[in-house]
Amino acid sequence: MMFWSIMSLIFVLLVTGVIIWRPYFTHYFPIVVVRWSLLIHATAAIVLIHAILIHMYMAFWVKGSITGMIEGKVSRRWAKKHHPRWYRDVEAAEKEVQEKTK
């Protein structure tokens, strides 16, 4: 959810940024649209900054997250605690492979 929120906010910033870009595009839009775009642009920027800070805080707060981001691997215990459905899928796949090799 965090990924799609951040991507949506970046898209909003891109669209509103083009609308309020004075030297090139402002004269194509009515002043009301430009003013609303300024408000939406500023709000989206503030929300995006907070979302990134929260995301960083959560990454450092949850023990084992940084290791997973850097190395691409997490412990079984971490996976079971934070992503139980994924853990069950991996366990089932491993059991299936073990049964086929017997």
Q: Can you give the residue ranges of every domain in the chain?
A: 1-61, 63-102
pLDDT attached to residue 46: 98
Query: In the annotation, is 55 catalytic?
Result: yes
Both tokens of 70, joined, read: 């850097």
Per-residue model confidence as pLDDT tens digits over 9-55: 999 999 999 999 988 888 899 999 999 999 999 999 999 999 999 88
- Selected catalytic residue, list 27, 41, 50, 55: 55
Q: Which of the four pLDDT bands, split at 50, 70 and 90, describes residue 62?
A: confident
In this prediction the pTM is 0.68
What's the Rg (C-alpha) of the chain?
22
Q: How far is CA 82 from CA 29, 50, 53, 61, 85, in A?
A: 47, 23, 20, 13, 9
Contact between 81 and 87 under an 8 Å Cβ cutoff? The reply is no
Q: Which amino acid is at 92?
A: A
Of the candidates 95, 91, 57, the residue with the CA atom closest to the CA atom of residue 66: 57
